Amino acid sequence: MNILFKVFKVFKYPRTIPRAMKNHIILLYKIYILKHESSIAISKWFKVRGDDTLRLDYPLNPNSVVVDLGGYKGEFSFNINNRFDSFVYIFEPVKHFYLICENLFKGNPKVKVFNYGLSNLNEEAYISDEDNGSSIIKNNQDGCELITLKKFEDVLDNLGIEKIDLLKINVEGSEFVILPHLIQSGIIKKVKYLQVQFHSFYPNAGPLRDRIRNELSLTHDEMWNYPFVWESWSLKKV
């Protein structure tokens, strides 16, 4: 009841409550009252400091190949390269974020940055302008940026990448297109470790995620799972 009272106050007096506090109270409401799966997962993720622990905990080395889909401002790739000195390929279709990554890794021969995204085919698409939530799924062309997408397997062939030690995917809904392409084409068998963030705003996201996870389980084992936050898979040992 105490949480319900706090939530009531937030909505009754919205201008008197700081935004951060309001968001925290709404999160508590989703966790304890609505039992919202992804909100509960977010709470657990923060408790284990997943961004600083789980997301960087892979047996990589200077010869490892890491592919970062949705590079954003390059923080994840920077931490991976800084810790393991691995080769990193960053794909960031939004020009502004691409330039940030280019500048961040200037002079680093082990990190390559590309101003396009990877998908199941070669095409152009509009992407929304929502900072780290920019998406081709939520766009309406007004105020959006026209970006280039290239077929995943074609890019691997052109770059001479024969195996991927870690594939990180955070592409705001497009994972529901990319992962089936990787599974159906067999490319997924070249991926030793997969780290992916699924997004609940995608149409029919729950059942589609379940289907993809079932197909992934044929080639990979789940390492850890925080639904619609982050999850990780490792290639089954032959």
pLDDT tens, residue by residue, 90-120: 999 999 999 999 999 999 999 999 999 999 9
- Residue ranges and CATH numbers for the domains of the chain are 2-35 (no CATH), 54-115+160-235 (3.40.50.150)
- Show the CA angle centred on residue 176, arms to residues 174 and 180, nearest 5°: 120
Query: How high does pLDDT run on average in the chain?
Result: 87
pLDDT greater at residue 2 or residue 59: 59
**Angle (deg, nearest 10), helices 152-159 and 175-185:** 60
pLDDT tens, residue by residue, 212-235: 999 999 999 999 999 999 999 999
CA distance 84 to 64: 8
Q: What is the pLDDT of residue 31?
A: 46
pLDDT tens, residue by residue, 63-99: 999 999 999 999 999 999 999 999 999 999 999 999 9
50 pLDDT exceeds 80? Answer: yes
Question: If pLDDT is split at 50, 70 and 90, which confidence band does 19 have?
Answer: low
| Cβ-Cβ contacts under 8 Å for 213 (sequence gap 6 or more) | 222
136 pLDDT exceeds 70? Answer: no
pTM higher than 0.75: yes
